[in-house]
Amino acid sequence: MYRIVKKTQLANSIALMETEAPMVARGCQPGQFVIVRMDEDGERIPLTICDYDREKGTVTLVIQVVGAETRRMTKDLKLEAFHDVVGPLGCPSELVEKTDEELKAMKIVFVAGGLGTAPVYPQVKYLHSRGIDADVIIGAKTKDIVILEEEMKAVAGNVYVTTDDGSYGRSGMVTQTLQDLVEKEGKHYDLCVAIGPMIMMKFVCKLTETLNIPTIVSMNPIMVDGTGMCGACRITVDGQVKFACVDGPEFDGHKVNFDEAMRRTQLYKTQEGRAMLALEEGDTHHGGCGNCE
Amino acid sequence: MGDVNVKVPVREQDAKERATNFKEVCLGYNQEEAQEEASRCLNCKNARCILGCPVAINIPGFIQEVKAGNIEKAYQIISESSALPAVCGRVCPQETQCEGQCVRGIKGEAVSIGKLERFVADWASEHGIKPEVTAEKKGKKVAVIGSGPSGLTCAGDLAKMGYNVTIFEALHEPGGVLVYGIPEFRLPKTDVVAKEIENVRSLGVKIETNVVIGKSITIDELIEEEGFDAVFVGSGAGLPKFMGIPGENANGVFSANEYLTRSNLMKSFREDSNTPIMKSKKVAVVGGGNVAMDAARTALRLGAEVHIVYRRSEEELPARVEEVHHAKEEGIIFDLLTNPTEILSDEKGWVTGMKCVRMELGEPDESGRRRPVVVPGSEFVLEADTVIMSLGTSPNPLISSTTKGLEVNKYKCIVASEENGATSKEGVYAGGDAVTGAATVILAMGAGKAAAKGIHEFLSK
Residues B5-19 pLDDT 10s = 999 999 999 999 999
Check whether the bond before A30 is cis (ω within 30° of 0).
Answer: no
The pLDDT score that the predictor gives to residue A267 is 86
Q: Which of B128-132, B136-140, B354-358 has the highest mean pLDDT?
A: B354-358
Distance CA A111, CA A93 (A): 15
Q: What is the pLDDT of residues B442-452, one digit of tens each?
A: 899 999 999 99
User: Domain total for chain A?
Assistant: 3
Out of B60-69, B272-281, B345-354, least confident range? B272-281
Sequential DSSP letters for A118-170: HHHHHHHHHHHHTT---EEEEEESSGGG--SHHHHHHH-S-EEEEETTSSSBE
The pLDDT score that the predictor gives to residue A286 is 56
Give me the sign of the Cα torsion angle B409, B292, B91, B316: negative
Neighbours of B383 (CB within 10 A): 14
Q: What is the pLDDT of residues B71-94, one digit of tens each?
A: 999 999 999 888 889 999 998 889
Residue type, B122: D
Q: What is the pLDDT of residues A140-151, one digit of tens each?
A: 999 999 999 999
| Residues of A whose CB is below 8 A from B279 | 271
The pLDDT score that the predictor gives to residue B9 is 94
CB B185 within 8 A of CB B230: no
Shortest Cα distance, chain B CAs vs residue A25, angstroms: 9
**Are the Cβ atoms of A224 and B262 closer than 8 angstroms?**
yes
Distance CA B376, CA B238 (A): 36
> Are A61 and A149 members of one domain?
no
> Are A54 and A107 members of one domain?
no
The mean per-residue pLDDT over the stretch B29-41 comes to: 96
- ipTM of the complex, rounded to two decimals: 0.89
The mean per-residue pLDDT over the stretch B146-169 comes to: 95
> Are A183 and A112 members of one domain?
yes
**Are the Cβ atoms of B274 and A72 closer than 8 angstroms?**
yes
- B255 and chain A in contact, CB less than 8 A: yes
Distance CA B308, CA B283 (A): 9
The pLDDT score that the predictor gives to residue B368 is 82
Shortest Cα distance, chain A CAs vs residue B59, angstroms: 36
Q: Closest Cα partner for B338 from B361, B309, B318?
A: B309
- B240 and chain A in contact, CB less than 8 A: yes
Nearest CA in chain A to B260: A230
The mean per-residue pLDDT over the stretch A230-246 comes to: 93
The residues of A whose Cβ lies within 8 A of any Cβ of B are: 23-24, 26-27, 37, 41-44, 68-69, 72, 83-89, 224-225, 227-232, 234-236, 241, 246, 260, 263-264, 266-268, 271-272, 275
Contacts of residue B320, defined as CB under 8 A and 6 or more positions apart, other chains included, come to: B93, B95, B290
Helices B290-301 and B321-330: crossing angle, nearest 10°? 20
Neighbours of A23 (CB within 10 A): 21
Confidence band of B130 (pLDDT split at 50, 70, 90): confident
The backbone torsions φ and ψ at residue B110, rounded to the nearest 5 degrees and listed phi first, read: -65, 160
Shortest Cα distance, chain A CAs vs residue B205, angstroms: 19
Check whether the bond before A249 is cis (ω within 30° of 0).
Answer: yes
Distance CA A279, CA A202 (A): 32
The pLDDT score that the predictor gives to residue A285 is 56
Give me chain B's average pLDDT, please: 93
Q: Which of A33-42, B131-140, B265-274 has the highest mean pLDDT?
A: A33-42
- Please name every residue paired with B254 in a beta bridge, in sequence order, or none if there are none: B388
Return the residue in A20, A71, A224, A264 with the most chain B beta carbons within 10 A, the one to mutate for interface testing.
Answer: A224
Confidence band of B293 (pLDDT split at 50, 70, 90): very high
Q: Which of B212, B251, B267 sits opposite A227 (nearest CB)?
A: B212
Under DSSP, the state recorded for B443 is H
Nearest CA in chain B to A44: B275
The mean per-residue pLDDT over the stretch A282-289 comes to: 58
The mean per-residue pLDDT over the stretch B379-402 comes to: 93
Contacts of residue B166, defined as CB under 8 A and 6 or more positions apart, other chains included, come to: B141, B142, B143, B144, B205, B206, B207, B208, B228
> Are A271 and A255 members of one domain?
yes
The pLDDT score that the predictor gives to residue B98 is 94
pLDDT over 90 for what percent of chain B? 82
Question: Is the model's pLDDT at A277 over the cut of 80?
Answer: no
> Are A76 and A112 members of one domain?
no
Query: Residue A159 belongs to a domain with what CATH number?
Result: 3.40.50.80
The DSSP bridge pattern shows strands B393-394 and B380-383 to be: unpaired
Q: How many CB pairs under 8 A join A and B?
A: 113
The mean per-residue pLDDT over the stretch A212-241 comes to: 94
Query: Residue A49 belongs to a domain with what CATH number?
Result: 2.40.30.10
H helix and E strand count, chain A: 11, 16
The pLDDT score that the predictor gives to residue B396 is 87
> Are A176 and A260 members of one domain?
no
Which of A218, A238, A267 terminates a domain? The answer is A218
Question: Is the model's pLDDT at B132 over the cut of 80?
Answer: no
| Residues of A whose CB is below 8 A from B249 | 234-236, 241, 260, 264
pLDDT over 90 for what percent of chain A? 86
Which of A61, A89, A117 terminates a domain? The answer is A89
> Are A146 and A60 members of one domain?
no
Which of A52, A71, A89 terminates a domain? The answer is A89
| Residues of A whose CB is below 8 A from B262 | 224
Q: Which of B257, B275, B279 sits opposite A43 (nearest CB)?
A: B275
The backbone torsions φ and ψ at residue B61, rounded to the nearest 5 degrees and listed phi first, read: -60, -50
The pLDDT score that the predictor gives to residue A279 is 67
- Please name every residue paired with A170 in a beta bridge, in sequence order, or none if there are none: A162
Q: Where are the beta strands (DSSP E) in B261-389?
A: 282-286, 305-309, 333-335, 338-345, 351-364, 370-374, 380-383, 386-389
DSSP reduced 3-state for B64:
helix
Q: Closest Cα partner for A122 from A162, A92, A91, A143?
A: A92
| Residues of B whose CB is below 8 A from A234 | 242, 249
> Are A261 and A291 members of one domain?
yes
Question: Is the model's pLDDT at A292 over the cut of 60?
Answer: no
> Are A117 and A212 members of one domain?
yes
> Are A140 and A162 members of one domain?
yes
The pLDDT score that the predictor gives to residue B1 is 56
| Residues of A whose CB is below 8 A from B257 | 229-231
Return the residue in B145, B147, B169, B171 with the most chain A beta carbons within 10 A, the one to mutate for interface testing.
Answer: B171
Residue type, A103: L
How buried is B45 (Cβ within 10 angstroms: 0-12 exposed, 13-18 middle, 19+ buried)? exposed
Confidence band of A288 (pLDDT split at 50, 70, 90): low
Q: What is the pLDDT of residues A100-120, one digit of tens each?
A: 999 999 999 999 999 999 999
The backbone torsions φ and ψ at residue A248, rounded to the nearest 5 degrees and listed phi first, read: -120, -140
Q: What is the pLDDT of residues A58-78, one digit of tens each?
A: 999 999 998 889 999 999 999
| Residues of A whose CB is below 8 A from B170 | 86, 225, 227
Question: Is the model's pLDDT at A280 over the cut of 70?
Answer: no
Maximum C-alpha span of chain B: 70
The mean per-residue pLDDT over the stretch A4-12 comes to: 93
CB B137 within 8 A of CB B159: no
The pLDDT score that the predictor gives to residue B272 is 86
**Are the Cβ atoms of B172 and A83 closer than 8 angstroms?**
yes
The pLDDT score that the predictor gives to residue A293 is 45
Q: What is the pLDDT of residues B323-333, one digit of tens each?
A: 999 999 999 99
The pLDDT score that the predictor gives to residue B271 is 86
Give me chain A's average pLDDT, please: 91
The backbone torsions φ and ψ at residue B426, rounded to the nearest 5 degrees and listed phi first, read: -60, 135
pLDDT over 70 for what percent of chain B? 100
Give me the sign of the Cα torsion angle B290, B296, B301, B307: negative
Provide the residue range defining the domain that includes A204. 98-218
**Are the Cβ atoms of A86 and B212 closer than 8 angstroms?**
yes
Return the residue in A37, A86, A222, A293 with the most chain B beta carbons within 10 A, the one to mutate for interface testing.
Answer: A86
- B262 and chain A in contact, CB less than 8 A: yes
> Are A207 and A226 members of one domain?
no
Single pTM value for the model? 0.91
| Contacts with A, B 397-426, CB within 8 Å | 398
The pLDDT score that the predictor gives to residue B415 is 96
- B166 and chain A in contact, CB less than 8 A: no
Question: Is the model's pLDDT at A290 over the cut of 70?
Answer: no
The pLDDT score that the predictor gives to residue A39 is 94
> Are A207 and A268 members of one domain?
no
Confidence band of A276 (pLDDT split at 50, 70, 90): low
Out of A228-232, A246-250, B62-66, B366-370, least confident range? B366-370
